A and B are shown apart, each in its own frame.
Chain A
Amino acid sequence: MTGIQIILISGILVAAFVFFIRRRNNIADLLVFTTLVGTAITFILFPEWTNIIAHKLGVGRGADLVFYLCILLFVFVSLKLYARLRRLEQMITDVIRKEAIAEADKLENE
């Protein structure tokens, strides 16, 4: 095993450990996460396998394929997070608004 493989695998194991000890996940999450961890470790141990898939998809190197997929994933995650941020902001706004109006009414009725 090379140095980079040890670093990557220990990183993934730490992430998995953190994920599992939180125990707030349902079965579906657990399955998805386990599959991801499994795939990641497989490809770290056998990097040439990504080359085979890359060639099939018309990409020169496995590393490039992984890079492209990461970009896609990044965009997807950013949009998801942004949508959630907007929902959150809307919720905060609603709470502050309701409270502000209730407070104003209370002051005026005194």
Chain B
Amino acid sequence: MNNLQNDNQSVFVLVPSYNENEVLRDVVSMLVEKKYSVVVIDDGSTIRQSLYLKNLPVHYIRHKLNLGQGAALQTGTNFALSKGATYIVHFDADGQHSAKDVATLLHPLEDDTIDIVFGSRFLVPTLSGYIPIQKKILLFFGRYINYIFSGLLLSDAHNGLRAMTSKASTKIILTENRMAHASEILFLVKKNRLRFTEVSVSISYTDYSKSKGQPVWNSIRIFFDLILHKLFE
């Protein structure tokens, strides 16, 4: 048990938070319980997110301005690497992921045959539960657009839950500050020939995460960010 705890401490879970407020505390407590090192990146929220994290043993970093989730994850990665992380996990702050899934995600990395693991809600159909129809259509297109841009066909285009080794994370340097970072990760996986796999994770669409989630038109913006990214590479 003691051994497991030490192991978990070198797993750095990055939780970018932009105005998640109360929900953030639940998400973080769930991760702290599993003894992971949690890094909350407050991406310039209106209310300092540290107010919601009182007495929780977490690392807290605050961006002075709102830069976007991609930028927050990169800041978290730099920080985690400086603290000697062995594994880095991306975890959304809106409560749609489950802390149990982190262990599943880490498992393929442990024998050093895989560099990065993507969470997917579609590998086991029963797990995905109810997914709103527009969301389904968007994810369907997102999947193929990512494929066209990156050459990698994943079953779940924009799942926020991923884990990678520290070595892989030094190669995945995100320059897309906003949501296009999810696709940028795929470009970098391809470019650096990282070994990847997908594992099944659960997603819960609470009313909260639905209201916070990406509005549909946002995907159009992601699409243009991608085109411009390719143009200005």
In the complex, the answer to whether A108 meets B61 with C-beta atoms within 8 Å is no
Q: Is the CB of B65 within 8 A of A96?
A: yes
Partner of B232, one of A86, A96, A104, A108: A86
Instruction: Give Cα A93–Cα B41 distance, bound, in whole angstroms.
Output: 14
**For the complex, is B230 an interface residue (Cβ under 8 Å from A)?**
no
Task: State whether the Cβ of B82 lies closer than 8 Å to any Cβ in chain A.
Answer: yes
Q: Does A99 contact B (CB under 8 A)?
A: yes
Q: Give complex CA distance A93, B65 in Å.
A: 9
Please give, as numbers and ranges, the residues of chain B lying within 8 Å of A103 by CB-CB distance: 61-62
Q: A97 at interface (Cβ–Cβ under 8 A)?
A: yes
Number of A-B contacts (CB under 8 A): 44
**Minimal Cβ-Cβ distance residue in B for A87:** B232
Complex Cα gap A72–B94 (Å): 45
Q: Which B residues between 42 and 60 are near A, CB-CB below 8 angstroms?
A: 59-60
* Contact present for A100 and B63 (CB under 8 Å): yes
Complex CA distance for A11 and B230, rounded to whole angstroms:
39
What's the Cα separation between A105 and B82 when bound, in Å?
Answer: 10
B78 within 8 A of A: yes
Give the number of chain B interface residues (Cβ < 8 Å).
19
Q: Does B200 contact A (CB under 8 A)?
A: no
B177 interface residue per 8 A CB criterion: yes
Determine chain A's interface SS by DSSP, over half rule: helix
* A96 proximity list for chain B (CB < 8 A): 63-65, 67, 71
Q: Does B228 contact A (CB under 8 A)?
A: yes
Q: Nearest Cβ distance between residue B194 and chain A, in whole angstroms? A: 23
Taking the complex as formed, is A66 at the interface, i.e. its CB lies under 8 A from any CB of chain B? no
Given contacts A83-B232, A89-B177, contact A97 B62 (CB under 8 A): no
CB distance from A10 to the nearest CB of B (A): 38
* Alpha-carbon gap, A96 to B75, bound state (A): 9
Q: Which of B63, B64, B82, B228 contacts A82 (CB 8 A)?
A: B228
Q: Is B74 located at the chain interface by the 8 A CB criterion? A: yes
A107 at the interface (CB under 8 A from B): yes
Q: A86-B232, A90-B175, A93-B71 given as contacts; is B63 within 8 A of A101 (CB)?
A: no
- Within the complex, which residue of B67, B75, B175 is in contact with A101, where a contact is CB–CB below 8 Å? B75
Given A83-B232, A96-B65, the answer on whether A104 and B177 have CB atoms closer than 8 Å is no
Contact between chains at B228 and A97 (CB < 8 Å): no
- When the two chains form their complex, are residues A107 and B60 in contact, meaning their CB atoms are under 8 A apart? yes
Q: Does A92 contact B (CB under 8 A)?
A: yes
A39-72 interface (Cβ within 8 A of B): none
Shortest distance from the beta carbon of A76 to any chain B beta carbon, whole Å: 13
Is residue B79 contacting chain A, with contact meaning CB distance below 8 A?
yes
Chain A neighbourhood of B65, CB < 8 A: 92, 96
Q: Contact: B228 with A93, CB < 8 Å?
A: no
Min C-beta distance of B67 to chain A, whole Å: 6
Query: Chain A residues in contact with chain B, CB under 8 A?
Result: 82-83, 86, 89-90, 92-93, 96-97, 99-101, 103-105, 107-108
The list of the 9 closest CB pairs from A to B, nearest first, reads A104-B61, A97-B75, A100-B61, A96-B63, A101-B79, A93-B71, A100-B63, A96-B64, A93-B67
